[in-house]
Amino acid sequence: MARLKAISGLGRKSAALFLVEAGEQRILFDFGDGLEPGEHPDLSEVGVVDAVCLSHAHEDHAGSLMRLGEVGSPPVYATSRCFEQIPEALRLVERRIIPERGGFDLFGMDITVGQCGHAPGGVWFHLPTERGGFLYSGDCSAESESMPLDPFPRAATLLVDASYGDRDSSLSDQREAIIKAADGGAVICCPAAGRGADMVQALLSAGHAVWAEDCIAQEYEAAMGQVVPVVDGMTACPEQVIVTTSSNAEDGLSGALLARGGFRFLFSSHVPKGSPAYPLIEAGEAQWLPWNVHPRLRDVLNWADQCGADQVIPAFIDPASATKLVAGLGKRLVLEREVEI
Ligand SMILES: [Zn+2]
């Protein structure tokens, strides 16, 4: 028998930390940090674990690695591209490289992984269980141009990225709105190792001249095999269309240009209240437009059917804000923090 205990990540957008107890083994899926400034997950009930499996390197999935000692300093399983994106200071862990698609052995269990469509080198995990299998999607998306999503295998229990709740608009429509909003120059903010390459490609395809921060230019070259010119805090000017980190102008080139002043900002990520983006958007001094990097409502419901799941646990969302999702899942919806899987 295997059990899931959601340490963090249910009920709202917060750090991803899901503990699975399977036989003698205790495995943590993701080891994220909170998104609001000063918000950190409570690890006191985790105890010693045997392994940490990382879906991808974003802060809310891997940002607590400096606290690995609090859970017994276990080995960390992740793809090599995921490890490359983790800040150097946090890389001093016992690393186990896993494939981006295929399988690996974890204490005698045949774990299956596939590309998640959300971050370069990001994966979902499937664990065989007596109850019919457990699938953890991590963050995932079916709509990225440069990052494919491998189909999920069958699983009786699906712990799925439902960050967008009832949002069902498609990236193809959102793309057009951002292309239009970029007319005349804009700083288009995104996280590292995320939507940057897709954004550059969409803006170029629409005829915009596009510049990028060096890290986004590298991602674009790796994904598309093409070059985009680089700007920095000294050379950027407000008439340019610039794709840059960080997603809410906390730091990176977007932070530097916000400090310089005179630039028009477009945001598209989750905006924590404590971030520089929040008051700008509230005051109408910056624009927020959606760009899907998580599943639409229709995707979550399709996957629940395709997996044959009889238990679906929507992660990273307050279910009270997602009435269509709750209705669509019906009896399959599981809201308990602890459940047999
Ligand atoms: Zn993510």
Residues with a beta carbon under 5 angstroms from ion ligand 1: 58, 139
Task: Compute, in angstroms, the gap from residue 60 CA to the centroid of ligand 1.
Answer: 7
Q: Which pLDDT score, from 0 to 100, does residue 80 have?
A: 96
Task: Compute, in angstroms, the gap from residue 239 CA to the centroid of ligand 1.
Answer: 30
Task: Compute, in angstroms, the gap from residue 57 CA to the centroid of ligand 1.
Answer: 7
**Domains, the chain, ordered by start:** 2-166+293-340 (3.60.15.10), 171-288 (3.40.50.10890)
Q: Which pLDDT score, from 0 to 100, does residue 92 have?
A: 74
| Residue 83 near residue 95, CB atoms below 8 Å | yes
Q: CA–CA separation, 82 vs 54, rounded Å?
A: 8
Q: Which pLDDT score, from 0 to 100, does residue 138 have?
A: 98
Q: Which pLDDT score, from 0 to 100, does residue 204 have?
A: 98
3-state per-residue secondary structure call for 166-218:
CCCCCHHHHHHHHHHHCCCCEEEECCCCCCHHHHHHHHHHCCCCEEECHHHHH
Q: What share of the chain is helix, strand, coil (3-state, %, to 5)?
A: 25, 25, 50
Q: Which pLDDT score, from 0 to 100, does residue 294 have?
A: 97
Task: Compute, in angstroms, the gap from residue 161 CA to the centroid of ligand 1.
Answer: 10
Q: What are phi and psi of 27, to 5 degrees?
A: -125, 130
Task: Compute, in angstroms, the gap from residue 317 CA to the centroid of ligand 1.
Answer: 14
Q: Which pLDDT score, from 0 to 100, does residue 57 have?
A: 95
Cα→Cα distances 150→58, 80, 153, 199, 316, Å: 20, 18, 9, 21, 21
Task: Compute, in angstroms, the gap from residue 282 CA to the centroid of ligand 1.
Answer: 24
Task: Compute, in angstroms, the gap from residue 139 CA to the centroid of ligand 1.
Answer: 5
Tokens 């923090």 sit on residue: 337
Task: Compute, in angstroms, the gap from residue 50 CA to the centroid of ligand 1.
Answer: 24
Task: Compute, in angstroms, the gap from residue 212 CA to the centroid of ligand 1.
Answer: 21
Q: CA–CA separation, 216 vs 237, rounded Å?
A: 17
Q: CA–CA separation, 178 vs 116, rounded Å?
A: 24
Q: Which pLDDT score, from 0 to 100, does residue 37 have?
A: 83
Partner residues linked to 245 by β-bridges:
none
Task: Compute, in angstroms, the gap from residue 233 CA to the centroid of ligand 1.
Answer: 26
Q: Which pLDDT score, from 0 to 100, does residue 282 have?
A: 98
DSSP state of 110: E
Measure the CA dihedral 54/60/65/67, to 10°.
-130
Among candidate residues 35, 26, 37, 77, the one with its CA nearest the CA of residue 56: 77
The residue type at 29: F
Q: Average pLDDT per run of 10 along the chain, which is 341 residues long?
A: 97 96 97 92 96 96 95 97 87 90 97 97 98 98 96 98 97 96 98 95 97 97 96 97 97 97 96 95 98 98 98 98 98 97 98
Partner residues linked to 236 by β-bridges:
none
Q: CA–CA separation, 14 vs 32, rounded Å?
A: 8
Task: Compute, in angstroms, the gap from residue 187 CA to the centroid of ligand 1.
Answer: 21
pTM: 0.93
